[in-house]
Structure formats: structure tokens, C-alpha cells
Chains A and B, each alone.
Chain A
Amino acid sequence: MSDNTPPNVQQQSSAVQTTGHAWDGDLQEYNNPLPRWWLWSFYATAVFSVLYWFIYPSWPVGDTWIKGFGTVSYAVTDKVTGKEEEREYRWNTRALLLEDLGAATNDPRRKDMLANVRAASYDQIVKDPKMMEFVRSVGKGLFGDNCAACHGRGGQGVVGMYPNLTDDDWLWGGGMDQVHQTLVQGRKGFMPAFGAVLKPDQLDDVAEYVLTLSGETQPSEASERGQAIFQGQVGGCYYCHGADAKGLQSQGAANLTDRIWAIADVPAQKSVQDKKAAIKNFVAKGVNNTRIMPAWKDRLSPTDIKLLAVYVHQLGGAQ
């Protein structure tokens, strides 16, 4: 039957006119009409493209472009006041995305939660499981965008460089209001260099004393000499670190009696000699223009700062 007929024979049987052109002697071109549906589709696309020019932004014309009639409107929430403002924009995919985000089903819920957080006090936020869940999920993003570059993804910091936010040792205070203050105005850590003021053996003595404060070593003659320098006019360390060496948070001065070392990495050193050297080195050099936390009040909205304060507070080390 016909199924066994070779294809070229089948084609011959359709007996279509050729265009009359011939190449290489016998190579001819069929003059097949276009299918009607195909032709109409083509005309339709032509008409459609004209409509498209008018509706959407399209061609550049001189210094400007054909702007089209298509617009997208979306709501913008003011970060400070929380007021909504409707904005209309020329049609583009970015505006379309913003519109879609605003129309998302959980967007009203997000706005409600933000309004709740704005209205609530720190105490209220901490006690509310739902609000805390919200703060932790939103705060994670904010922290990742703004803080993680220095303090690390989980807030663990870098010894000697950026404070660990997950422990309970706070140079400037770990209360929610103090964290808030730190975020708003920033901080600048300062400790004078004692390398020029104290002689090397005096530095040794001070280091010896500082080590005894957190129970690393037992008091000795040298540490008593160091204590005299610490408490006396020569060193004057107690001005900032306090007579009991617990530090003054108003100055950002470290508590020297706990086991946490923010700058001189004492726990990492194996021998007492190395621990002493780390402290001595630091006391000699001091801190100047190296421990600076920028102010965020001009970069983040009050709501964001509030969210971050709670987020940092719950990282684990808060007081």
C-alpha cells in the first residue's frame, strides 16, 4: 500500500506548481501557498505590535522615548511614619514587581506586624512570642545586610577587631536602650597608648596584675607593683576601668575581671608568658581610631533600628 511508497514518490504525486526557477539543471522550487491560518496569524502579530507600541514604553525618540499608556501603581510605606502613599509609574518590570509584592496575600500581615513592633515597648516585644518570631526573621535580614560584614553572620564578632554580640560582656552596655543608643549614634572606642608613659618593666607589672584580675594567675610581688600603677597616678587605669577593674560602660571601658577578652586574645595563648605579652602589647599601643562603630540613624529607619536592637539583644548576650 501507500505506506511503502518512498517519500520522493509521494511528493511527486502532490503535483504542485513550481516557481519556474531552476538551479543546477533540475533543482526546482515548489510554489506552495502559505496556509491561511499562518497568514492570518502573521497579520494579527503585526496589528498586535502596533498596539503594543502605544500601550507600553517602546522606541527612543531623540532625547526622550515613546512612553506608552501602560502604568503601574503601587503603595510605598514611609519607613518613619508608616504612612502609605500611592505611586504611579510607567510600566516596567520593576514597578510590576513592587505592585505584586504589595498585592501579596501576606503583605497586610507584614504591615500589621511592623505597626505592632513600632507601637510596642521593648519589654512588650520580648514577652510576645509572635512578635519575637517576626523580629527574628526580619532582624536576620537586616543584620545580614548591615551588621554581618563586621560582626559575623551570627554576631560572633572577631577577637581584637569586632565585638562578639552573643556573649554577655558589653563595653557600652547590653540593655536594650543601650544597644539602641549604640545603633543610633555609633561608638568610638579609645584607650591611650602607654608605651611612652610606662617603662617596659612597668608594663610587665601591669600585665601581671591584669592577669590576676580574672583569676588567670595568682597575685605576686610583680602584680602588686602593677596594681599600684593601675590604681595610682602613673598609670591611671582606674579612671576608666574603675577601682575594681570592672570597667565603666559610659566610657566603653572593658571589664577586666571577667573571662572575656575583646581585644587581647588571652584565652587563645597557651603559656602565661604569651598571655602577659598579649596584654602588654595592647597596653603599650592603646586604641585609637580602630574600634569605631558607625552611627546608623541616618542610614536606617527608627523601625529598623528598633528591630535590630531587639534582634541583637536576643542574640544571646543581652543584659
Chain B
Amino acid sequence: MSEESNPLYQKRIQIYPRSVKGRFRNLKTGILALAYVVYYLLPWLRWERPNAPNQAILYDLPGRHFYIFDLVIQVQDIFWLAGVLIIFAILLFFVTGIAGRVWCGYFCFQTLWTDLFMMVEQWVQGERPARMRLDKGPWNREKLLKRGGTYALWLLISLWTGLTFVMYWVDAPTLVTEMLLGSAPYAAYFTTFFLATTTFVMAGLAREQVCTYMCPYARFQSAMFDHDTLIVSYDERRGEGTQGRSKLGKGLKTREERQARGVGDCIDCGYCVQVCPVGIDIRKGLQYQCISCALCVDACDTIMDNLKWPRGLVLYTSENALNGKKTRLLKPKTIGYGVILTAATTVLIWSVLTRAPYSGTVEQIRQPLYTQLSDGSIRNSYEIKLNNKLTAPMTVGIRIEGLTGATLNMDGMERLELEPQERIKLLARVQIPPVGRNDSPGDQVTFIIEPLAGVRAEPIRRQVPFYTPEGGR
């Protein structure tokens, strides 16, 4: 142990992933293209709505409405968001249990943006050896141009990413004009530049460090894995044989020759290591850095195809399958997650589909609980809150039942026009004639709030207490 070899931290080893062709790469590129089309173009989609914003997806925070195509979500429906988050969480458990970290490898924003940034990098600076050479080389015109060009392109993408995010919260065409004119709200600039910065840093500079050191998911993936989970693995028996792996050398050219010497199929070309975006060697077994993107599978398949050897030295399989057992995808855990997932999704969809077009609540005004009038009759007051959730006007009628001899007085507001998305608080007075000592008019009154025009829906019934002086009069 020498005194020099005592570093407090390890210097980051720069990764220069090599490009690769293959089915998993195609899948990844397809998902990437789809995700970007959705993310960047969706805010520009218009959606005709009478009396409401015409943007297909708009999270209107000042107006307190979320517009998602034909679905208009109000503040009080925010629990749907909780439902969506729960469903996504279970979906993650479910998918991870079956197919490992496919979320990380194909869908995670960090992966998607890093992938795009790498594509840009490769387009400007060239393939892995060229990038390594450029990185080691001195700062000259070429390096300056190529590095600067890469950063400039990254910056543009980052800025547009940040701006696109803001577009989901305000009217997109207006926002772009305002941003250019310098008249957009401060929050829009801040969010855009904040997200542009994080995108640039995370996808451009930090990359695999995010997955390895920042993301907690890497650390608890093992809790969701079992022996039947599909993972990217190296078939060690085939690759190493009895004498380990070896390069293609003299007398080691064909599989027969190699098998005779006890050498495995792995020719130690290192292609699987070079393509890995997190810089690991899959042949060392499953590691927590692995994001299951399966690019190493594509790399190895390419080599095997060239050698005309069977594919599958690096493959997507389960630990059980590697040990010669059967992979059981339908395990109790998977079925359990599946059932919960189906149930949660069903409940959410049911809740969204059966949402009422309007809402109404009735609350008793408790100060005073009741008022006795000069002729001895008794009055209670109530506050009614009405909320038209539609983007169209509607007429609502309010009446009462369930209390003997009661009359409702709302100063003519018993029938009310509600403007689109209007919410209003009304005062209602309910009065019963003088109560004798032995009368029992009831201590509850039911308000019936029913739509009269503009929409067909079940009436809302609200039972609230009605107070009388003790023992009557």
C-alpha cells in the first residue's frame, strides 16, 4: 500500500459509446422517435372547445383546469392524478418483475435525451475512435469547431425541450411569440432556462452518472428482481467454455477448434463493452449500472452473424434459463401486480367515465343554528356551492323535500343559469311554521339539485340537518 494510491474519490472515466445496429437498437430508436414526436408536437395540437382554451393538452394552473382532449379536469378531481401515479408505480413494479429495467433502457427521459445527445455528438464528431482522438488531442480549430458545434446543437435542443415543457401550461403559439418579444411571464423564462440547463447538464455532461449515482431506481431494482426476471446476460458457459474466452487466433478460428481446446465462443472483441452507454462489461454479470438497453445484445449478435455462429452469446434471458431451468413469467408476484394494476386502472377509467357534469354541496350555516321569527316559525340557513364542470352553459333547479311544511327561499335563485365552468355560492333559507310541543317536523332536510337544461344528469341529493329549538314552543 503506497501513500499515493489513496484517492478520496475516483475520477470519472469518460465513456465513448460506439454505435451499433440491430433489433434492440431499432426498437430503441422507434420508441425514441415516437416519444419525441409526442412530446414536441403535442402542445401544438389544437382542439375545438366552446368557451374554453383550444389547446388539446393544457394544464391551465391560473384557471385551475386541466384540459386533456375532451376531458376537462377540475381541481377537485385532482385525486385522479394520484390514481395515475399509483397506476404508473404498479406498472413499474409489474414490468420490472417481468422484463427488468426496460423502463430505464427504453422509456426513461434521461435515457431518451442522452441517446439523442449522443446521436448529435456522433453526427458532429464521428464514431468512437474519432471522438477519443479528438478528446485527447490539443485544442485546435477542428476541436473547437466540433466541440462548439456539438454544444451549440445540444443547447438548441435543451432550450426547445424547456420551452416545450412550458407550452403544456400555457397557450403554445402565444407563448412562443411572447418569449421572442420578451413579454412572457417570468415563470416561463425561468422554467425554460432551468429545464434547458438541467437537460444540457444531465443528458450532455452527466449522462450515465445520473443513472448510476443520482437515480434511486438503480439501487432498489434488486428488490423487484427474481430468478425469472428477464435480464440482459452473458451466457458464461458458452462464452467461457472450460478455459475461458480467447481472441480469434491461430488454431482458434472455428467453433470446433475452440471447443476442442475448451475455449468458449466469446472472441473478446470488446464490442459489447464499447457500445454500452453506462460503460460496463456485461460479461462480469448483472450490475446495478445496467439499464437493460440490450445494445450489447445487438453488438454481440452482429459479431456472431459475421462469424456465422449462432446468436445468443449475450442475450435477453432469465437467471433460471441460464441455469437450464424453465423461465416462469406467470409467477404469483406478477399475477398479484397484474390484478392490482387491472383493478386500479378499471377504477380510474370508471371514475373518469362516470364523472358528473356538475357538482353541488350544501352546508348548514351554524351561526346561528336556527332563527325564530316573529310569528314563531323557525328558519335555518344553508350555503349551497354549485359548480358547472362543462364548457357549456346549464340551468340548475334547487328544491327541498323531507321536512314537514318547509318552504325554501332563495330570493329567486332557486332556478339559476350557470355559465360554462362557473362556480358560485348561494344562500338558501328553509323555514317551517311554528312547532307545537308534540310536533316532530323532522330534523333533516334534503336539497335536490337538478339540471333543468343544458345537460342530462342524475339530480344531486344532499341531506343536511335542520335544527329546531329544544322541545318546540
**A156 with B368: CB separation less than 8 A:** yes
Assuming the contacts A129-B426, A130-B424, asked whether A167 and B6 have C-beta atoms less than 8 A apart, the reply is: no
**A133 with B425: CB separation less than 8 A:** yes
Assuming the contacts A2-B6, A156-B367, A267-B473, asked whether A129 and B424 have C-beta atoms less than 8 A apart, the reply is: yes
Assuming the contacts A127-B412, A166-B368, A267-B473, asked whether A260 and B374 have C-beta atoms less than 8 A apart, the reply is: yes
Most chain B beta carbons < 10 A, residue from A126, A155, A260: A260
For window 115-167 of B, CB contacts with A under 8 Å fall at: none
Flag whether A223 is at the interface (Cβ < 8 A): no
**A167 with B374: CB separation less than 8 A:** yes
Q: Say how far B122's CB is from chain A's closest CB, in angstroms.
A: 34
Task: For chain B, give the interface size range.
Answer: 20 to 34
**Distance in angstroms between the alpha carbons of A5 and B8 in the assembled complex:** 12
**B367 with A258: CB separation less than 8 A:** no
Flag whether A136 is at the interface (Cβ < 8 A): yes
**A129 with B416: CB separation less than 8 A:** yes
Q: Say how far A30's CB is from chain B's closest CB, in angstroms.
A: 16
**A255 with B368: CB separation less than 8 A:** no
Write out the residue numbers on chain A whose beta carbons fall within 8 Å of the beta carbon of B1. Answer: 1-2, 5
Assuming the contacts A167-B374, A267-B473, A314-B427, asked whether A10 and B6 have C-beta atoms less than 8 A apart, the reply is: yes
Write out the residue numbers on chain A whose beta carbons fall within 8 Å of the beta carbon of B6. Answer: 2, 5, 10, 13
Closest to A258 in B: B374
- Chain A proximity mask over B359-374: 1 for CB below 8 Å, otherwise 0: 0000001111001111
Q: Say how far A100's CB is from chain B's closest CB, in angstroms.
A: 13
Stretch in contact with the other chain, from B187-195, B246-254, B282-290, B375-383: B375-383
Flag whether A132 is at the interface (Cβ < 8 A): yes
Assuming the contacts A130-B424, A154-B365, asked whether A317 and B371 have C-beta atoms less than 8 A apart, the reply is: yes
Write out the residue numbers on chain B whose beta carbons fall within 8 Å of the beta carbon of A166. Answer: 368, 371, 379, 381
For window 435-473 of B, CB contacts with A under 8 Å fall at: 473
**B367 with A153: CB separation less than 8 A:** yes
Write out the residue numbers on chain B whose beta carbons fall within 8 Å of the beta carbon of A167. Answer: 371-374
Closest to B366 in A: A154
Flag whether A29 is at the interface (Cβ < 8 A): no
Flag whether A304 is at the interface (Cβ < 8 A): no
Majority-rule SS of B interface residues:
loop
Write out the residue numbers on chain A whose beta carbons fall within 8 Å of the beta carbon of B375. Answer: 258-259
Q: Say how far B404's CB is from chain A's closest CB, in angstroms.
A: 20
Q: Say how far A99's CB is from chain B's closest CB, in angstroms.
A: 15
Q: Say how far A119's CB is from chain B's closest CB, in angstroms.
A: 20
Write out the residue numbers on chain B whose beta carbons fall within 8 Å of the beta carbon of A175. Answer: none
**A126 with B372: CB separation less than 8 A:** no
Write out the residue numbers on chain B whose beta carbons fall within 8 Å of the beta carbon of A137. Answer: 425
Write out the residue numbers on chain A whose beta carbons fall within 8 Å of the beta carbon of B305. Answer: none
Closest to B370 in A: A166
Write out the residue numbers on chain B whose beta carbons fall within 8 Å of the beta carbon of A255. Answer: 374
**B371 with A316: CB separation less than 8 A:** yes
Closest to B469 in A: A267
Sampled A-B contacts (28; CB under 8 Å): A1-B1, A2-B1, A2-B5, A105-B62, A126-B411, A127-B412, A130-B424, A132-B413, A132-B426, A136-B425, A153-B367, A154-B366, A154-B368, A166-B368, A166-B371, A166-B379, A168-B374, A169-B374, A258-B374, A259-B372, A259-B374, A259-B375, A259-B376, A259-B473, A260-B373, A316-B379, A317-B371, A317-B373
Top 8 nearest A-B pairs (CB, nearest first) are A154-B367, A258-B374, A156-B368, A13-B3, A166-B371, A2-B6, A169-B374, A168-B373
Other than the given A127-B412, A167-B373, A259-B375, 5 more pairs (CB < 8 A) read: A2-B5, A10-B6, A132-B427, A133-B424, A154-B365
